[in-house]
Structure 1
Amino acid sequence: MSFSEDAGSPAEAVRTSGRSFRLVCAPGDRERVAALLAATGHLSEAEPFSPWCRRIAAEPTPLGSAMAARFGYIHIQDRSSMLPPLLLAPPPGARVLDMCAAPGGKTGFLAQLVGPAGFVIGNEPSPDRLATLRQTLSRESLANTATCSAADLSPHLPAGSFTHILLDPPCSGWGTLDKNPQAAKIWAGDKVAPLLALQRKLLETAAGLLAPGGRLLYSTCTTNVAENEDQTRFALDHLPLRAVPLAAPAGFVFEASRRGDVAGVLRVDSAASAAQGFYLALFEKTGGAAFDGGDGGLPGEVVPERAILAAGCDPAGLPPGAVRAFGDKVFFLHAGAAGLPPRFRYQGFPLGVFRSGVFRPQARARLLVGRDGPGLNEEALSRIEALLAGQSLPAGDLPARPGLYWRGLPLGFLTRKGARALWSDR
């Protein structure tokens, strides 16, 4: 049995051509980013379930090599994996935890949804995957985020400290067999038992960290009932959580729940939706006490604003928070991080280096470029492509770190050497 929110047949409800991706920008820049994509021949169509999400209609070169992707203005993502942040639906200003965050697509989408005043911390226990998570958030200029790495967060974070939690735990991945055909064999039979135990442990931790009335979205990319409906039943029977029925987003076809005593959950029909098989369940915390917010302090050495301004940067583009140095590395710490315990190890958003009283922004710190700062504002892409290929351009009377723009859209910082400007990620 399948159902869809859309009228008509399932075939009418779903567009099956083209890869899906998400725009990563301020709401007012969505059309400009779409134009940047179109400038490289990458034409797209809006998805019906979110104004942030699109599908490629024309892909003359791999989407990942498009200029918009290279500068972090889009995130390529399976359309099913866009649903957990959307269905958790944290409002602007929310305080959110993504418990198993790498590679960062869901974390980044959550950061967009909560806006500059909101705060998202992404936890990734695997050091290798943690590096990928941090690279994703940095490339996409999502400064209202922080990252951490803990196998068990419950000893480190206060109970009741998050209004919204996304738990997309390790799973058997049976919903991704088109891309990972070995998943069903790797996690066959009793081999899935360790995953089931880990998922229940993570559910227990999430319930403890959730504030009263807060919401928890549990999702997997598997079709396994034991990891889906059975875990939902466990959470309802043993944790201070109640079920919140999910409405079916437009553009997908969903299967019925595979347990009669589990309702209001969603199972993406992979073939009919042209997407990965996904399971989603939403809960609300009942009872408990909310965290009072902590002492409000932020660690690190203060980087004077005059040093930031002297570097030709515009700090007005940053969310609420503070710029701090740790050694010679500079990070932005969102105001939401002030509620984290003093001894809790986390990393803010990287901005550059601070040596001998001089701040130097990293090339991709586009939040510091400003909208009207001095720099090269290119109408065509050919000169930007030349810069990325290692060529230099005349600098004229530009400052030492001029901005690089495409039709007013900030891309990052150039480096001036003598009379020439060049692009350097170093």
Structure 2
Amino acid sequence: MASCDVTPAGEAPRTSGRSFRLVCSPSEVPLVEALLGATGHVAEPEPFSPWCRRIVAEPTALGASLAARFGCIHIQDRSSMLPPLLLDPPAGARVLDMCAAPGGKTGFLAQLVGPTGFVLGNEPSPDRLATLRQTLFRESLANAATCSQADLSPHLPEGAFTHILLDPPCSGWGTLDKNPQAAKIWSGEKVAPLIALQRKLLATAANLLAPGGRLLYSTCTTNVAENEDQTRFALESLPLVPVPLAPPAGFVFEAPRRDDVSGVLRVDSAASAAQGFYMAFFEKAGGTPVVREDRELPGAPVPEKALRAAGCDPAGLPAGAVRAFGEKVFFLPAGAAMLPAGFRFQGHALGTYRAGVFRPSARARLLVPPAGPAAGLNEEALCRIEALLAGQSLPAGDLPPRPGLYYRGLPLGFLARKGARLLWSDR
């Protein structure tokens, strides 16, 4: 099959190093890059997004770096970054990620819609749901909520979302370098149940999409039956019209494998140094957007004064509310008010609330106040931060009971104080 090279003239596709995404506010980008540089990790920008980077020097495993441990970066195959970018939800949008685990695409969508936006990540598998929630928690993406429904149709109203990402279970033939058994496991008629599931999910997505809303369908397989054939199914059986995709820079794309399919993207894995991915873009035709009133967010309100008494600064939270469910405290994004009463979902874990006292999680980075002399430890070098992570304690001096930990002003989390010593504890 012939391929079309859409890499800009004079620029060869990158062929070495892993890709990752910065997970921080725009103002924190230089600080996160400094944190990476302090551990010897050197990266260059990816050409398709200002958030994405590719490692060119990795003296130690990137996943074990301090930037990764504190959730300031997300390691992700470069092809996997494309679906959120191509869906391109605007700031403030309300987005559904229908098959969300392990969370890389959900998290990227949360970054793209910004603090006034909302992303609902659905993951039917309980085991994979835990991974999704841990990813969003570690990376402090509080404007995303999670749920677990095998079929969303009975639970969410028609036309509820203006943007939907559907990256369904697939045969994974585009990931054979990492999963060489995929082609054997999903060979011949064995792939039929996946094809049926993908069509059911496409129909659900079309139902939940608002008129004029946009749907990005993607897979990590090279199988025509799960790619071009599903695109034709969507166009012939659902109220969807095609939207041609513009090829992002830095990739090589193969031609579609059906003559009656155009405007889709099929990543050439070897030439792009990335997984094989397929992407098709649709818009829902006709109709009038449904106007719905938001409802009151569930849970018991946690007073702002309780957060401030614990040394927290709620100004770092996106639009939404802090709610207690028993002793556990979650942040619920404002966009979650669109979800119907009785719909089970989970917000972003912040800590505990007992007898009127709030205790933030060590990883509640969004609540860490700006760095200052009385706010906590603001380290210029890594040695003391590394010592804390290794289980050592440091003198507390006159710092508060739950001081912040910073690297050159970049908030990393909350420390625990025991007597005259400071400790790092994820509990």
Could you say which TM-score interval applies, normalised by the shorter chain?
Answer: over 0.9
Cross-structure match for 1:385: 386
Q: Is the 8 A contact 2:19 2:75 kept in 1?
A: yes
Q: Where do residues 146-225 of structure 1 align in structure 2 (5 Å cutoff)? A: 146-225=145-224
Displacement of 1:35 in angstroms is 1.1
Displacement of 1:291 in angstroms is 3.5
Question: TM-score, normalization: structure 2?
Answer: 0.98
Residue 130 of structure 1 aligns to a residue whose secondary structure is: helix
Instruction: Give the number of aligned pairs.
Output: 424
1:128 aligns with 2:127: yes
Q: Is the 8 A contact 1:219 1:280 kept in 2?
A: yes
Residue 396 of structure 1 aligns to a residue whose secondary structure is: coil
Residue 64 of structure 1 aligns to a residue whose secondary structure is: helix
Find the aligned partners of 2:82 and 2:32 in 1 and give their Cα distance.
22
Cross-structure match for 2:279: 280
Displacement of 1:229 in angstroms is 0.3
Find the aligned partners of 2:113 and 2:301 in 1 and give their Cα distance.
26
* CA distances 1:355-391 after superposition (whole Å, capped 9, x unpaired): 0110000000000002235100000000000001111
Cross-structure match for 1:271: 270
1:92 aligns with 2:91: yes
Structure 2 letter corresponding to 1:303: V
Q: Is the 8 A contact 1:294 1:340 kept in 2?
A: no
Find the aligned partners of 1:90 and 1:38 in 2 and give their Cα distance.
31
Question: TM-score, normalization: structure 1?
Answer: 0.98
1:255 aligns with 2:225: no
Structure 1 letter corresponding to 2:5: S
Displacement of 1:163 in angstroms is 0.8
* CA distances 1:42-97 after superposition (whole Å, capped 9, x unpaired): 10010000010000000001000000000000000000000000000001000000
**Residues 4 and 370 of structure 1: is their aligned pair in 2 closer, same or farther, counting only changes over 3 Å?**
farther
Cross-structure match for 2:403: 402
Q: Where do residues 45-56 of structure 1 align in structure 2 (5 Å cutoff)? A: 45-56=44-55
Structure 1 letter corresponding to 2:400: P
Q: Where do residues 235-246 of structure 1 align in structure 2 (5 Å cutoff)? A: 235-246=234-245
1:413 aligns with 2:407: no
Q: Is the 8 A contact 1:93 1:117 kept in 2?
A: yes
Displacement of 1:31 in angstroms is 1.8
Q: Is the 8 A contact 1:377 1:404 kept in 2?
A: yes
Find the aligned partners of 1:30 and 1:243 in 2 and give their Cα distance.
36
Q: Is the 8 A contact 2:371 2:406 kept in 1?
A: no
Find the aligned partners of 2:378 and 2:391 in 1 and give their Cα distance.
18
Cross-structure match for 2:58: 59
Find the aligned partners of 2:292 and 2:330 in 1 and give their Cα distance.
22
Q: Is the 8 A contact 2:171 2:186 kept in 1?
A: yes
Q: Is the 8 A contact 2:217 2:281 kept in 1?
A: yes
Pick which of 370-379 and 62-71 moved more.
370-379
Residue 136 of structure 2 aligns to a residue whose secondary structure is: helix
Find the aligned partners of 1:325 and 1:292 in 2 and give their Cα distance.
29
Structure 1 letter corresponding to 2:223: N
Residue 200 of structure 2 aligns to a residue whose secondary structure is: helix
Cross-structure match for 2:144: 145
Cross-structure match for 1:115: 114
Residue 246 of structure 2 aligns to a residue whose secondary structure is: coil
* CA distances 1:329-363 after superposition (whole Å, capped 9, x unpaired): 00000100001001100000000000011000000
* CA distances 1:76-119 after superposition (whole Å, capped 9, x unpaired): 00000000000000010000000000000000000000000000
Q: Where do residues 327-346 of structure 1 align in structure 2 (5 Å cutoff)? A: 327-346=326-345
Find the aligned partners of 2:130 and 2:255 in 1 and give their Cα distance.
37
Q: Where do residues 27-38 of structure 1 align in structure 2 (5 Å cutoff)? A: 27-38=26-37
1:325 aligns with 2:330: no
Gaps of at least 5 residues in structure 2 are none
Q: Is the 8 A contact 1:160 1:289 kept in 2?
A: no
Find the aligned partners of 2:413 and 2:8 in 1 and give their Cα distance.
45
Cross-structure match for 1:6: 7
Cross-structure match for 1:296: 295
**Residues 155 and 288 of structure 1: is their aligned pair in 2 closer, same or farther, counting only changes over 3 Å?**
farther
Displacement of 1:289 in angstroms is 4.2
| CA RMSD after TM alignment | 0.9
Q: Is the 8 A contact 1:158 1:291 kept in 2?
A: no
Find the aligned partners of 1:119 and 1:295 in 2 and give their Cα distance.
13
Find the aligned partners of 2:180 and 2:14 in 1 and give their Cα distance.
24
Displacement of 1:145 in angstroms is 0.4
What is the percentage of aligned positions where both structures have the same residue?
A: 80
Displacement of 1:6 in angstroms is 2.5
Find the aligned partners of 1:315 and 1:200 in 2 and give their Cα distance.
43
Find the aligned partners of 1:342 and 1:246 in 2 and give their Cα distance.
37
Find the aligned partners of 2:71 and 2:113 in 1 and give their Cα distance.
19
Q: Is the 8 A contact 2:323 2:330 kept in 1?
A: yes
Find the aligned partners of 1:245 and 1:217 in 2 and give their Cα distance.
11
Q: Is the 8 A contact 2:20 2:75 kept in 1?
A: yes
Find the aligned partners of 2:284 and 2:236 in 1 and give their Cα distance.
13
Find the aligned partners of 1:254 and 1:322 in 2 and give their Cα distance.
44
Find the aligned partners of 2:116 and 2:336 in 1 and give their Cα distance.
12
Gaps of at least 5 residues in structure 1 are none
Residue 142 of structure 1 aligns to a residue whose secondary structure is: coil
Q: Is the 8 A contact 1:4 1:248 kept in 2?
A: no
* CA distances 1:293-327 after superposition (whole Å, capped 9, x unpaired): 33421000010111011000000000011000001
Find the aligned partners of 1:276 and 1:345 in 2 and give their Cα distance.
34
* CA distances 1:231-251 after superposition (whole Å, capped 9, x unpaired): 000000111110000000000
* CA distances 1:381-407 after superposition (whole Å, capped 9, x unpaired): 000000011111111111000000000
Structure 1 letter corresponding to 2:215: L
Find the aligned partners of 1:295 and 1:220 in 2 and give their Cα distance.
33
Displacement of 1:209 in angstroms is 0.4
Find the aligned partners of 1:371 and 1:4 in 2 and give their Cα distance.
47
Structure 2 letter corresponding to 1:104: G
